[in-house]
Structure 1
Amino acid sequence: MNRFLTDAKIIQAELGEIRRDLHRHPETGMTETRTARIVADYLKGLGLSVREGVGGTGVVGLLYGQRKTRTVAFRADMDALPMTDRTAGEHRSRIDGKAHACGHDGHTAMLLGAAALLRRGAETLEGNVKFIFQPSEERLPGGALPMIRDGVLDTPRVDGLFTCHVHPGVPQGSVMVTPGYCTVSSAGFTLEVIGKGGHVALPHQAVDPIVMAADCINAAQTIISRRTDPLDSIILAFGTIHGGTANNIIPDTVTLEGTIRALSPKQRDRVVAMFRETVEATARKHGGDFRLDVRMEYPSVYNALGMVSILREAAAKVVGASRVICTERPFMGGEDVAYFHERIPGAFWFMGTGNPDMGFDHPLHSPLFDFDETVLSLGAAIHAQCAADFLSATVVPRVPGAETRRQGCEASRNRP
């Protein structure tokens, strides 16, 4: 058995206790004071150098190795979601309207476990290890940029970053990673369709924004189905629609909210432009008007190929090569770890938690999402193995340039 996994199994119960405690006491973006205190106290107990209040409620632990010429970092997000927890068991959330439904409690416990594993063999490490516990991944504008502005990647300068996220769509105990672009670049929008209110008995004297809004929704569907390459990973979706006060009144306005997601910022911006053109033409056809507010959200996460190679080899040492999945299919969610990857080479990967036999097959952000805690020791061991392998590597991966990223995007579009 892998030496890190052997040690991780020894602290499995401890990691489970930490995870359940965090699950019972979830804290949303930039309010993770209790979580941050637990993290900082644990790291201090290991003898690590600890910075608190980084970028808000972030915590950074630093473990110095035998040589200090190279530094590898790991990032775990700490925040919960503003929703009700419907999981069973004694670890169910005790805070109304807050739940760890995206596994960040597990991410935090895994990384604390990795810190414990690496602390035991610090004298053999060929460099430094930085443990980044980030607030507010779920809440825009995210916690990554505030931590970066607070110098999280400096002193010592970070040379590479690994980030794990649990995933119920991947079999429990397996690892999945996507080289190149692995998440999408997203934009949120608010569309106000402006008509002219009136009585439903006199529709010719009004401009019906409800009909106009319905037409906008239908017209927008052709942007993806008829105006973009079928091989491109693009989403245009409406999430909310609000309008009207009574069944016999044509309202003045209808407000819609939604999201646009694409594999690259260039694709995203092109769809945004087409959406604006479509809405303008639809409003003009009905004799109405519109206001469209588009908010650029997280950029795409780009996995550096060299970092992916290190991750795959390290994971194979822990779970076996047959359980390491390399896919070209991107995850259509957004992640602010992208801001780290814009500055340093990184690998963002998934730890599989899917286990239908145990009832652990609910998707991320479901009020029923949960997982088998045995994956905590696996994640901790993989983190530790990645650190050892990165620090002993002959060549350190570099941040890919714009041309390399473009080629990676084209390659993903042309996949079979």
Structure 2
Amino acid sequence: MQSALPTITSPQLQQVRLPIRQLLPQLVEWRRQLHQQPELGFQEHQTAAFITQKLTQWGIQHNTGIAKTGIVATIPGDRPGQVLAIRADMDALPVQEENDVPYKSQIDGRMHACGHDGHVTIALGTAYYLSQNPHFAGTVKIIFQPAEEGPGGAAPMIAAGALKQPNVDAIIGLHLWNQLPIGTVGVRTGALMAAVEVFRCTILGKGGHGAIPQQTIDSVVIGAQIVNALQAIVARNIDPIESAVVTVGEFHAGSTVNVIADTARLGGTVRYFNPDYAGYFKARIEQIIAGICQSHGANYELNYEVYYPPVINDGAIADLVRSAAAAVVATPLGVTPNCQTMGGEDMSFFLQAVPGCYFFLGSANPEKGLNFPHHHPRFDFDETALPLGIEIFTRCVEAFLNKTHG
């Protein structure tokens, strides 16, 4: 378990420029301060105040209160050019932290269990370095986004003009990733993360005595048939070359052993990479539920919500990130495309609006016990990843904004 400060002489930081390496103690301090005060989606008031204080201190122009708690900082280069955006999410999770560290969450039932405190820190460090070294053509916009974990802050920020004035030409973002070791970066063209859709269904049958089933419409039997039938969607309706998941995670019915329940409630999630499947699962799931309920004489109520589309990386921007990362990371695995996940992310809305790339920055270190998965109450990451993220972002800025200006 991590508590001592990582050192700027870490072998992972060999390719990080000295001024960024020297930020490490400050980065760790910021990250741990943020970690102790986690805030849920659209409630990130202290986090936003912390960011605002730093940006003001450094003389960086910024707008606050975008989509409630969002912030957009603007850093001009030393000559005109294009606009590259960097996105960092700010919110925590309703998880009780179980780590025994000095910087443990001070708020019961809330925790930065997904690394967003690190994302904010990397974005702040990037903002500071670029403001002190504006050796690029154009402008960098840094978007501090609320509510990634839900209900989603990306779309509201876009609607509020986060990508305008000046208009963004491309966007990049990263996620600290405990599925990859420190010193590793996951980058891939095309689909990186899945669409997220959620359904909840109530089956309306007719209850009665367990010994007289002919007088009832058994919601449990109907629900069980629906659960089984939904599994055939991926197995028999989806191209086997594609990837998709239909998971039923909830099933609630009945209250005692000898009573047939009149209602049953089930719910689950749908994930897929191919945007062509948008709308398909909703229609197919309702078709199956309606058909099974009709065959038994039952009714149903279905609530289907589409949360996030899939995260689809632009090929040219993915190449940019891949090149920058390959010059920074120094492990045998290095930069890998084997990083797809059925997890979802509302970075997808930014990537629908402008070309961009979202990538994973390896942050696990099993030797230090820093390899618990995301959303786990003992999640933590190797803070050596913080300057690595800044260096990769900075190289992306320099490469993208200087590409047509020499």
TM over 0.5: yes
Q: How does 1:208-357 map to 2 (within 5 A)?
A: 208-320=218-330, 323-327=333-337, 330-357=340-367
Gaps in structure 2 of 5+ consecutive residues: 1-12
Asked if the contact 1:4/1:384 (under 8 Å) is kept, the reply is no
Q: Which moved more, 1:304-313 or 1:194-203?
A: 194-203
Contact (CA 8 Å) 1:261, 1:268: kept in 2 or not?
no
User: What is the aligned partner in structure 2 of residue 400 from structure 1?
Assistant: none
- Conserved 8 A contact 1:166-1:351: yes
Question: C-alpha offsets along residues 295-354 of structure 1, whole Å, 9 cap, x if unaligned?
Answer: 111111211111011111111222248554342663211111111111111110000012
Counterpart for residue 117 of structure 1? 129
Q: Secondary structure at the match of 1:342?
A: helix
1:42 has 2:61 as partner: no
Residue 368 (structure 1) shift: 1.4
Please tell me the residue identity of whatever aligns with 1:75: R
Paired residue type of 1:234 = A
Q: Distance in 2 between matches of 1:355 and 1:2?
A: 18
Q: CA deviation at 1:169?
A: 0.8
Q: Secondary structure at the match of 1:260?
A: strand
1:103 to 115, 137, 153: 115
Please, which of 4, 9, 24 is the counterpart of residue 36 of structure 2? 24
- Letter in structure 2 aligned against 1:121: N
- Which position in structure 2 is the counterpart of 1:405? none
Would the aligned equivalents of 1:77 and 1:134 in 2 still touch at CA under 8 Å? yes
CA contact (8 A) 2:251 2:264 kept: yes
Q: Which runs of 4+ in 1 moved over 3 A?
A: 1-5, 320-324
Q: Judge conservation of contact 2:16–2:387 (CA < 8 Å) in 1.
A: no
Query: In structure 2, what is the equivalent of residue 131 of structure 1?
Result: 142
Shift in alpha-carbon separation, 1:2–1:393, aligned structure 2, 3 A: farther
* SS of the residue 1:297 aligns to: strand
Q: For 1:136-215, what aligned pairs fall within 5 Å after superposition?
A: 136-140=147-151, 142-215=152-225
How far apart are residue 285 of structure 1 and its match?
A: 2.9
Distance in 2 of aligned mates of 1:271 and 1:256: 16
Relative to structure 1, the CA distance from residue 328 to residue 319 in structure 2 (aligned partners, 3 Å threshold; closer, same or farther) is closer
Q: 1:39 to 1:323 in 2, by over 3 A?
A: farther
Q: Secondary structure at the match of 2:327?
A: helix
- Cα deviation for residue 104 of structure 1 reads 0.3
* Match in the other structure for 1:73: 85
Query: What is the DSSP-based 3-state SS (H/G/I as helix, E as strand, rest coil) of the residue aligned with 1:318?
Result: coil
Q: TM-score, normalised by structure 1?
A: 0.90
User: What CA distance in whole angstroms lies between the structure 2 residues aligned with 1:6 and 1:282?
Assistant: 65
Q: Percent identity over the alignment?
A: 37
Mean alpha-carbon deviation: is it higher for 315-324 or for 147-156? 315-324
2:386 maps to 1:360: no
Q: 1:84 aligns with which of 96, 105, 118?
A: 96
**1:264 shift after superposition:** 2.4
Partner Cα distance (1:5, 1:216) in 2 = 57
1:374 aligns with 2:384: yes
Shift in alpha-carbon separation, 1:326–1:179, aligned structure 2, 3 A:
farther
Which amino acid in the other structure matches residue 165 of structure 1? Answer: H
Which structure 1 residue ranges, 5 or more long, are not aligned?
A: 396-416
Instruction: Please identify which structure carries the higher helix content.
Output: 1
Are the aligned partners of 1:4 and 1:385 in contact in 2 as well (CA < 8 Å)?
A: no
SS in 1 for 2:308: coil
CA distance in 2, matches of 1:232, 1:3: 38
